[in-house]
Amino acid sequence: MAEDERVRLFCALRLPEPVLDAFVEWQLGLELPQGVRPVPRENAHITLAFLGWWPVGRIDEPVESLRRRAPRIAPPRFAVERYRETRSVGMLVLSEDRGAARLAYGLQRDLLGKVERFPWLPHVTLLRFRTRPRLRPPMPDPGPVSPSDAAVYRSVLRATGAQYEVLETVALGG
C-alpha cells in the first residue's frame, strides 16, 4: 500500500464466542422481511471509535492509542437492554459501562481530536436494511456481555457488504 493511500478504520470491543453464539441464534429465530439481512457473525462488535478513511502511513496511531488505553480499563460488563433501529441498521443496545465509555472517549480524543457529536452508545449492529422494517423482536439473553479485548479493524467495502479485518488486538486490563 502506498503511504498516501487511505483505509477505513475503527476501534471496537470484540465479543466473546458464547455471546456471538447467542446473537446468531437470535438472528436465526427472527422472521425477517424481504430486504433485511443479518450482519455476519464475524462482523459483530461494539464500536468504540469510527475513524473513517485513515492514511495508511499513520496506521500505527490507532494501534498505539489502543495499546496505551485498553490495559487501563477492566473488562466491561454489559447487558442487552433493548432493540433499536436507525435508517439502515437494527441493533441491540447495551447497558452503560463507565470504563468502556472512558476508553471510547479517550480513543476519540486521541484519534479524532474531539469526542463525537452524540454520546457513545454501546451497541451491537445485527441487522442491515434499506427500508426500516420497524421490527419488535424478542430480546436475546446472552447473559453478561464481557469483552476481554479490543481491536483496530479495517473495513473493506464490497458489493455484498462491508468485510472487517482485525489489524491488532489488545487485552483489556484490570
What does the DSSP assignment read for 19-36?
Answer: HHHHHHHHHHHS-PPTTE
Q: Tell me what pLDDT residue 3 has.
A: 60
The H or E element spanning position 128 is strand 123-129
pLDDT for residue 33? 95
**Domain-located, residue 24:** yes
Look at the block and give the residue holding cell 487501563.
72
Q: Tell me the three state secondary structure of residue 62.
A: helix
48 contacts 111 by C-beta, under 8 angstroms: no
Find the domain containing 96 and state its range. Answer: 6-171
pLDDT digit of tens for each residue in the chain (174 aa)? 566 799 999 999 999 999 999 999 999 999 999 999 999 999 999 999 999 999 999 999 999 999 999 999 999 999 999 999 999 999 999 999 999 999 999 999 999 999 988 899 999 999 999 999 999 999 999 999 999 999 999 999 887 778 899 999 999 996
Domain total of the chain: 1
Asked whether residue 15 is domain-assigned, the answer is yes
- 62 found inside a domain: yes
Tell the residue number behind the cell numbers 455471546, with chain if given: 19
123-129 sheet: strands from edge to edge: 36-38, 123-129, 89-94, 80-85
- Residue that the C-alpha cell 492509542 belongs to: 65
Residue 143 lies in a domain: yes
Evaluate whether residue 54 is within a structural domain: yes
pTM for this entry: 0.93
1, part of any domain? no
- CATH number, domain of 20, equals 3.90.1140.10
- Residue 22 belongs to a domain: yes
- 137 occurs within a structural domain: yes
